[in-house]
Amino acid sequence: MVDIQLAKSKMENEEGMNHLWIQLHPEDLLQISEIKIQLPKGIYRSKNLNGLIENEQGHIITDASGQDMIIEIFTQDAIPCGEMTIVVSLLTSEAAVHQDISIQVVPEEEMDTAEINQHVVERVKALSNTSPTQDDDEDDSNFVYIQPKILEQRISRLEKNYRIDYGY
């Protein structure tokens, strides 16, 4: 019913990042469901990169069409090394199905031996290459565009006249 894959077999214990790919099969879904992700202590996640709706509890809302979702997981501070378990639950009004996936948390020196799952990497790349187009009928009010401030150096008339440039 739920397939879960990690982009890398290992994750760095300090400032580490990985991607979790969750795939739902449409033939197994008959109704709207929620995906709940329980992470080990010290591992955090971003909102799903697919733009699916998340409720107040942080559960991802899915429909009966069967969807996939990419979740970026990361560490903010150093956490203990070792094998940890991520629990992904598919919650429906009738049942709850839980699936575990193990992740090995290691120091930076051991990351060069991590196995890379190219299927997940390609899915993340494909997702990051898609961008909203102007032809979409959807309301663009969810997007916030922030114009960066441009700092300009203002010099007074007196400073211009009496400034000494030492040429450092």
Residue found under tokens 């441009």? 150
- Measured between alpha carbons, how far is 58 from 140 in angstroms, rounded to an integer? 23
Question: Given this model, what pLDDT does residue 135 score?
Answer: 44
Ordered alpha helix ranges (H), the chain: 118-129, 157-162
Average pLDDT over residues 143-157: 55
Contact at 8 Å (CB) between 58 and 90? no
pLDDT, averaged across the chain: 80
Q: Which residues contact 74 (CB under 8 A, 6 or more apart)?
A: 15, 16, 17, 18, 43, 44, 45, 46
Give the range with max mean pLDDT: 66-75, 125-134, 159-168.
66-75
pLDDT value, residue 125: 86
> What are the pLDDT digits (tens) for 94-148?
888 899 999 999 999 999 889 999 999 888 888 777 644 444 444 444 455 555 5
Distance CA 129, CA 109 (A): 31
Token pair belonging to 110? 């051991």
Residue 151's pLDDT is: 55
Q: Which of 28, 22, 30, 17 is nearest to 48 (CA)?
A: 22
